[in-house]
Amino acid sequence: MSPLAALPDNPHVKVVRNFAELVATPFAGGVNALCWPRPLAGDFGEIVAGLGAGEGIMSLDEGRLNALVLSAAGRVARDILLADLRLLRDQGLAPELNCIHIYPRDEDAAVVPVDVYSFHADRAPVETSTWLCTYHGPASEGLRNEETQRRIDVPATRAALLAEYGGADDDGFREFLRDSCYDLHYAPAPNARPWSFGLGHLWRIAVAWPGSPVPPCIHRAPATLPGDPPRLLLIS
């Protein structure tokens, strides 16, 4: 299967041909996710296996990657990881490469969980984008904006949040929602169909910032199920 065949049929997603286009293409016309599809060579599973058993999130740097004893296929995968880190750093970004066994869960949330397993948007005070690529394990998932509703706009949820706030539905309450990041989390519509970011593709997705010409890309980390392999994820 070609990398293009696996991408979602989605008017909010635009495919680009190379990294330069990924950097330069503006978000416009409702497009809030740009994808450079890549069929990557190499054995990324060998990278994960070489890191050994773990739990939570393991941060990887060049030193840890270069210390791995790998086969030829593993070395190809490592070279791709190092090259992608350099590509993003050359753009003035601060990418992180992580081996993720499981993310922390928001166990204390009585009404709206705000962990990365919930469909959410990213936010920034200035114009920026989120960059990400899954190399191994379950890939990130997205939802079309029209197939979601902000959780704070669901009447029963808003009423419960008002009770948690202990005040009126006023500017102070809206500030409370923002400070708690409740306003960044979304509920899927009953007929919503999440789409996969796929493996190996490098993405640039829109975030919520003042003056953004498009709505943010709504996405989440995939649910972690027993027996799932760790994820190898690049994000900035």
Helix, strand or coil, per DSSP, at residue 204: strand
Range of the domain at 134: 3-235
Query: Quick one: tokens of 1?
Result: 């299967």
CA proximity to 134, closest of 227, 20, 66, 40: 40
Sign of CA dihedral 92, 97, 102, 104: negative
- What contacts 154, CB < 8 A, 6 or more positions away? 187
Whether the predicted pLDDT of 136 surpasses 70: yes
The helix (H) or strand (E) run that includes residue 59 is strand 57-60
- What contacts 9, CB < 8 A, 6 or more positions away? none
What value does the mean pLDDT take over residues 111-135?
95
Q: What percent of the chain has pLDDT over 70?
A: 95
Cα–Cα distance between 15 and 89 in angstroms, integer?
22
Helix axes 44-51, 72-89, angle to 10 degrees: 90
Residue type for position 227: G
In whole angstroms, how large is the CA radius of gyration of the chain?
19
pLDDT in tens, 69-90: 999 999 999 999 999 999 999 9
pTM: 0.93
pLDDT class for 2, splitting at 50, 70, 90?
A: very low
pLDDT in tens, 24-69: 999 999 999 999 999 999 999 999 999 987 778 999 999 999 999 9
What pLDDT does residue 109 have? 64
pLDDT class for 1, splitting at 50, 70, 90?
A: very low
Q: Chain-wide mean pLDDT for the chain?
A: 93
Phi-psi region of 49 (alpha: psi -120 to 50; beta: other; left: phi over 0): alpha
Helix, strand or coil, per DSSP, at residue 15: strand
Q: Reading across the β-sheet that carries 218-220, which strands appear in turn? A: 195-196, 141-143, 218-220
Residue type for position 15: V
What pLDDT does residue 58 have? 93
Sign of CA dihedral 189, 197, 26, 86: positive
Are 49 and 70 contacting, i.e. CB atoms less than 8 angstroms apart? no
- The number of distinct structural domains making up the chain is 1
Q: Do the strands 33-36 and 13-15 form a parallel or antiparallel pair, or are they unpaired?
A: parallel
